[in-house]
Amino acid sequence: AALVAIDPKNGQILAMVGSKNYFDKSIDGEVNVTMRPRQPGSSFKPFAYAKAFEKGFQPETMVLDAQTNFGPDGSGRNYVPRNYDGRFHGVISMRE
């Protein structure tokens, strides 16, 4: 779990906690993940799920998790998203 407390009046960050123990080396407690490059994938999930459910998909609906090339992005390079672990998992449920 993590928390960022922001003053809604001016956007100032008042507090930020990202791990249960900043000094615990075994969990990289001191690493500030807000400064690390991350895919925004999980933050999009509620929107993607809502649209899929509108179209009749259910949590148990099976889908294919496979490498997909969406063609050139704005820079002219092909956009090929990947999972955080770098692997593709084949047929999985929407819930997974």
pLDDT (tens digit, 0 to 9) for every residue of the chain, 96 residues total?
A: 678 899 999 999 998 887 777 778 887 777 776 776 666 767 888 998 999 999 999 999 999 999 999 998 888 889 898 887 889 999 999 988
Same domain, 51 and 78: yes
Is 48 in the same domain as 87?
A: yes
Q: Check residue 72 and report its DSSP letter.
A: B
Give the domain range for residue 75.
39-96
Check whether residue 74 and residue 90 sit in a common domain.
Answer: yes
Same domain, 79 and 46: yes
CA-wise closest residue to 91 among 50, 67, 60, 62: 62
pLDDT at 27: 75
Residue with tokens 């593709």: 88
Shared-domain flag, residues 1 and 46: no
Whether residues 33 and 73 share a domain: the answer is: no
- Look up the pTM and report it: 0.51
Residues 12 and 44 grouped into a single domain: no
